[in-house]
Structure 1
Amino acid sequence: MPWSVHAALFRDLVLGVLGTLAFLIDLGADLWAASQYVLSGRYLWAALVLALLGLASVALQYFSWVWLRADPTGLHGSQPSGQCLALLHLLQLGYLYRCVQGLQQGLLVWRQEVPSQFDLAYADFLSLDISMLRLFETFLETTPQLTLVLAIVLQSGSTEYYQWVSICTSFVGISWALLDYHRALRTCLPSKPLLGLGASAIYFLWNLLLLWPRVLVVALFSALFPRYVVLHFLGLWLVLLLWVWLQDTDFMPDPCSEWLYRATVATILYFSWFNVAEGRTQGRAAIHLGFLLIDSLLMVVTWATHGAWLPGELLLQVLLPVAGVCFLLGLALRLVYYHWLHPSCHWEPDRVDGTRGLYSLEGRQLPQNKRVVQLAKNFFPRDRDKSALPWKGE
């Protein structure tokens, strides 16, 4: 096996280990924060932390279970029986099982002298599902948890050591999930162009710089109007859910689970951009960005005109201008990325999961994660010029 391929497999294995550790550390930080709130008599805050954690975990296990049941028969040859898998998901361990399964397959491929095409394709299949689940967990649990912690800090005017740990782990988890998801989509490209360091940094930064001001504004609104933030979220969420429905998504294997996917996407759109429809997305992305910008400005104006006092008001006088600068910088980097670094591809009907064909040399059909491949088709547009290169420069 060439050294470059061996190094790439080792890098993917290390990234898988780090991603699993990041999830466990973030989970531990949330449970630690909840226990500290209980010990200090702040039962409502503890209940909110555990509620967000529980709801996100249930949704994550459901997605994992539905995907496993929809996968081709015999694909996961060495996995436990259906009853054991169901029990794992009921115990909220399905995602961790996925992570362990992905690490085992990655280690198997890395240790082989010449990995088979099937083993390589199966490792890609597992990593794509894990990346998608990690993204869902980020916006269903990590981002709301970060918003809640910031709201508590703004309302109380002080920051405890465990809250600093929660904030830091949340930012690391969000950053990791966004970059890992983008890397996963890149593996679905027909030509598999490598994600360069410059493109990775710019993609990571523009997502984080646009997400941070949104989280801060929602946290500020939550600290000032804790009784109305739920109504605000539900109102916008219903509008975004309608928008996702009008785009006629077809991601899940059945209508019931498709509505859960649409609800999850609407939650992501409440904080950040997520493309779910094929075709040119500039118009939809601009509408979504303008919608969130107007909503965020209205929340800031409400705070400024309400005259409510917060213990951390002096801190806000610094944070809000910094958030505005972050938004403008993130917008500039987003334009740079989509103008120069965002690839467009020749999507061919039978070559949708990398450069490998449908069958390996041994005659076995290669696994294709069509769920994430469809999202990659939405994210990376078709190249209009057939004579052009399949991707833009890195």
Structure 2
Amino acid sequence: MNFSKWNFLMTIFGIFTLVSDFGVDLWIAVKYFQQGLHVCSLLTIFFIIISNVIINVFSYAWFKDDCSEGNTRKLRWVCFIHVLMAGTFLRYWYAVKCGYRAAMSPHSEEDVTKTNKKAVDAMTDLSMLRCFKTFLESTPQLILQIYILMEHGQITLLQYASIIISVSSISWSTVDYHMSLRSSLEHKKEISFGFPAFTYVLYKLLTLTSWILSLVFLLACNVYIFAAFLSILWILGLCWAWKQNTEFCTKMRLEILYRIVVAVILVFTFFNVKGQRTRIPISVYYTFRVLATIGILILCFFVKDSLNHNLITIFSIALVLALGLGIMSLILYYFLFHPTLHSKDQNQDAVDGHVERIRSHYFLNQ
């Protein structure tokens, strides 16, 4: 992939979205507190904190892995910035610097490959961190927002807009991550723009939307069942990540944290944990998703008297339509448009251990 001027501009845009996203999160937390929803306000802040801590831990670990020996002073400053929870801003600064050199600055042909690789790798690292943030912070917050709408009805027009934007943002973040990762892997063909990319966006948008609504229904029915259900899903995801023997991190302690995060992501959407063939795992995953959704809707039917009937009806219709169209988009994408269908290279994403370790080869794939 060549790091283009468009990629550079999107990186700049990412800085503004990062700041605005943080501002909106704080605004929502304050709004909940003013409405008397103190627990929801604290949960929102908790999601922000835990997400940023994990992101900064991984960001620093990657800087440390990439830092050359003898550069201790620079690494100390990097560590200090991450302790201040500003690692993402440092990542963006580094991506902008590398991106400017790759897209804007003239350089000799000898440096083209090296400069371009640095920019693409920086963009891919950022994309991975955004993916973590999406499922550690944005998705739980979205579930909380919709739950408040359904349970309390205390929501403003701006919060309605925030919900719609959040759904789109979560889906796009997942798609952007997948496209960035494929772009960074030389042995992987990129998703074609047009109908293939559109189908993939629909698949992620609709399946995520339907599942988020299902989880909100379950939360509205019974908090304890919701907590138990998510715990079971998380444990299953953790067992799957452990069974796959992921090799994302250079140290086992970080690898354990990575598997914990992967398990959280698998609660909400499917990812190829280790770059292997996914036909059977993805079929099992979405078959379970359909059965679980049906079970949740049946449960809601029996306790619907305690819920807002009009909202339940609207959300139920939206859920069923989203799930059906999402599964159809999934089938279309994997049977007609997946890049491997039009590529002679069918290798797995994981690289052999005898070559130079490249972090992006070990990222979650699709």
Q: CA deviation at 1:96?
A: 1.8
Match of 1:179 among 165, 175, 182: 175
Task: Work out which of the residue numbers 80, 94, 100 in structure 1 matches 2:93.
Answer: 100
* 1:242-391 alignment, distance < 5 Å: 242-311=239-308, 313-344=309-340, 346=345, 370-375=358-363, 379=366
Shift of 1:72: 5.1
User: For residues 27 and 224 of structure 1, what CA distance do their matches in structure 2 show?
Assistant: 30
The alpha-carbon deviation at position 283 of structure 1 amounts to: 0.2
- Counterpart of 1:68 in structure 2: which amino acid? F
Cα–Cα, structure 1 residues 194 and 208, in superposed 2: closer, same or farther, change >3 Å? Answer: closer
Q: Are 1:244 and 1:265, in contact at CA under 8 Å, matched by a contact in 2?
A: yes
Q: CA deviation at 1:165?
A: 4.0
Where does residue 39 of structure 2 map in the other structure? 44
Deviation at 1:159, TM superposition (A): 2.4
Instruction: Give aligned-pair identity as a percent.
Output: 26
Distance 1:31 1:333 in 2: 35
Number of the residue aligned with 1:382: none
Paired with 2:50 and 2:77, the residues of 1 have a C-alpha distance of: 22
Pick which of 99-108 and 209-218 moved more.
99-108
CA displacement 1:56-112 (0-9 Å, x = unmatched): 11111111111111225179x8x9722221121111110121012101211222222
How far is the alpha carbon of 1:17 from its aligned partner? 2.2
Q: 1:219 aligns with which of 216, 220, 228?
A: 216
State the secondary structure of the residue aligned to 2:306: coil
The Cα of 1:10 is off from its aligned counterpart by: 0.9
Whether the aligned pair in 2 keeps the contact of 1:209 and 1:327 (CA below 8 Å) is yes
Q: Where do residues 133-172 of structure 1 align in structure 2 (5 Å cutoff)?
A: 133-172=129-168
AA matched with 1:82:
L
Counterpart code for 2:33: V
Runs ≥4 residues deviating over 6 A: none
Deviates more, 1:51-60 or 1:286-295: 286-295
Whole-Å separation in 1 of the counterparts to 2:189 and 2:240:
32
* Per-residue deviation, 1:129: 0.6
Across the two proteins, how many residue pairs are aligned to each other? 354
Q: CA-to-partner distance for each residue in 1:290-322, whole Å, 9 max, x for gaps?
A: 2222222222211111244223x2022122122
1:61 is the counterpart of 2:49: no
Are 1:236 and 2:233 counterparts? Answer: yes
The farther-off stretch of 32-41 and 268-277 is 32-41
* SS of 2:4 mapped into structure 1: helix
Output the amino acid matched with 1:300: L
1:130 to 118, 126, 130: 126
Aligned residue type for 2:91? R
Partner Cα distance (1:149, 1:120) in 2: 41
Residues 29 and 162 in structure 1, CA contact (< 8 A), matched pair in contact too: no
Q: How far is 1:139 from its partner?
A: 0.7
RMSD: 2.6
Relative to structure 1, is the Cα distance of residues 347 and 253 closer, same or farther in structure 2, using a 3 angstrom cutoff?
Answer: farther
Residues 241/348 of structure 1: CA separation in 2 closer, same or farther (3 Å cut): closer
CA distance in 2, matches of 1:224, 1:306: 7
CA contact (8 A) 2:5 2:104 kept: no
Gaps of 5+ in 1: 353-357, 359-367, 380-394
Deviation at 1:161, TM superposition (A): 3.1
In the alignment, which residue of structure 2 is the partner of 1:91? 84
Kindly indicate whether residue 23 of structure 2 is the aligned counterpart of residue 23 of structure 1: no
Residues 222 and 229 in structure 1, CA contact (< 8 A), matched pair in contact too: yes
Give the deviation of 1:194 after TM superposition. 6.3
1:111 equivalent to 2:104? Answer: yes
Comparing 184-193 with 302-311, greater Cα deviation is found at: 184-193
- The amino acid across from 1:373 in the alignment is H
Q: What is the distance in 2 between the residues matched to 1:208 and 1:65?
A: 31
8 Å Cα contact 1:26/1:169 also seen in 2 = no
Distance 1:264 1:66 in 2: 15
d(CA) in 1 for partners of 2:134 and 2:123? Answer: 16
Q: CA deviation at 1:183?
A: 1.6
Partners of 1:333 and 1:191 lie apart in 2 by 22
Give the structure with the higher percent helix: 2
AA of the residue aligned to 2:315: L
Q: Deviations over 1:115-138 (max 9, x none)?
A: 622111110111111111111110
TM-score normalized with structure 2 length:
0.89
In 2: Cα distance, 1:99 partner to 1:278 partner: 27
Provide the rounded CA distance (Å) in 2 between the counterparts of 1:148 and 1:9: 38
Any unmatched runs of 5+ in structure 2?
Answer: none
Aligned CA distance change for structure 1 residues 239 and 305 (closer, same or farther; 3 Å) = same
d(CA) in 2 for partners of 1:302, 1:246: 32
Cα contact 1:98–1:130 (8 A) shared by 2: yes
Q: Is the 8 A contact 2:95 2:122 kept in 1?
A: yes
CA distance in 2, matches of 1:194, 1:289: 22
Q: What TM-score, normalized by structure 1, do the two folds share?
A: 0.83
Following the alignment from structure 1 to structure 2, what is the Cα–Cα distance between the partners of residues 177 and 120? 23
